[in-house]
């Protein structure tokens, strides 16, 4: 005679398996919810950092204006240095050859 498993034993094992699967599903769902909440908080922190970084940058037009002013100041310094070297050369009666062209330095554009 073959051994027959009682119906209560089969139902008990299958019910336990179903219960275990449901419990595992809920655990994984809770872990997934925690993971989603963590990703949301990380995303918010990254957005905050991006906003702080954006405040530190300068507009392209503002940068162009600053560079133009800097270029004008450098031109003034070049002109003054050129005049100083010309005066120095004349005062010492020495001939230092300069590759600068005086026409590029117009006095009315380089006054300070």
Q: pLDDT of 26-72, one tens digit each?
A: 888 888 889 999 999 999 998 888 888 777 777 888 889 999 999 99
Q: Are residues 87 and 51 in the same domain?
A: no
Q: Report which of 49, 108, 48, 45 is spatially closest to residue 75, judged by C-alpha positions.
A: 108
**Helices and strands counted in the chain (H then E):** 2, 0
State how many domains the chain has: 2
Q: Are residues 27 and 39 in the same domain?
A: yes
Residue 52's domain spans which residues? Answer: 7-57
Q: Are residues 62 and 107 in the same domain?
A: yes
Q: Are residues 112 and 72 in the same domain?
A: yes
Q: Are residues 48 and 77 in the same domain?
A: no
Close Cβ partners of 110 (under 8 Å, ≥ 6 residues apart): 75, 76, 79, 80
Q: Are residues 48 and 94 in the same domain?
A: no
pTM over 0.75: no
Give 5's pLDDT tier (boundaries 50, 70, 90).
low
Residue 1 lies in a domain: no
Residue 2 lies in a domain: no
- Measured in degrees and rounded to the nearest 5, phi and psi for residue 97 equal -85, 130
Position 102 scores a pLDDT of 54
Residue 66 lies in a domain: yes
Close Cβ partners of 102 (under 8 Å, ≥ 6 residues apart): 82
Distance between CA atoms of residues 50 and 57, nearest Å: 11
Q: Are residues 81 and 42 in the same domain?
A: no
Distance between CA atoms of residues 80 and 73, nearest Å: 11
Position 100 scores a pLDDT of 53
């Amino acid at each position: 005679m073959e051994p027959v498993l009682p119906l209560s034993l089969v139902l008990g094992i299958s019910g336990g398996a179903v219960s275990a699967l449901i419990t595992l599903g809920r655990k994984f769902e809770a872990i997934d919810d925690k993971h989603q909440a963590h990703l949301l908080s990380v995303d918010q922190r990254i957005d905050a950092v991006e906003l702080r970084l954006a405040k530190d940058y300068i507009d392209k037009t503002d940068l162009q204006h600053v560079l133009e002013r800097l270029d004008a100041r450098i031109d003034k310094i070049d002109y003054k240095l050129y005049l100083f070297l010309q005066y120095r050369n004349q005062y010492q009666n020495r001939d230092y050859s300069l590759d600068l062209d005086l026409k590029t330095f117009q006095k009315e554009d380089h006054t300070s």
